[in-house]
Structure 1
Amino acid sequence: MHNNTDLKFDKDLDLFWEISKSLIVILLNMYSHSFSLSFLLLLHSSHLF
């Protein structure tokens, strides 16, 4: 019984880590994308002046 619950906990933890890693990657992609967009906008506006 004890081993069984440990195994389940490990699986839950693995799943949690997988989800967390996916979220982090998505967030980083969004952040870098918006950063490059704002950088391009900045460049564009500096050309206007």
Structure 2
Amino acid sequence: PYFFMHAPDDTFAPENAYAFHALLAARADVGELPPWPGAPRQQRLF
């Protein structure tokens, strides 16, 4: 199944998806949420 959330600005779409998944996962076995393709990565120190 798919669930779509719409907002005027999708800047916070990854955060909204993670928050919704956490709420849903607390009530049902929904599996893992795959990593967001555009998620920022921490810079390497070395």
Give the TM-score, by structure 2 length. 0.37
Give the TM-score, by structure 1 length. 0.35
Q: Which has the larger radius of gyration?
A: 1
Q: Which is richer in helix?
A: 1
- Name the structure, 1 or 2, with higher relative contact order (CA <8 Å, separation 6+): 2
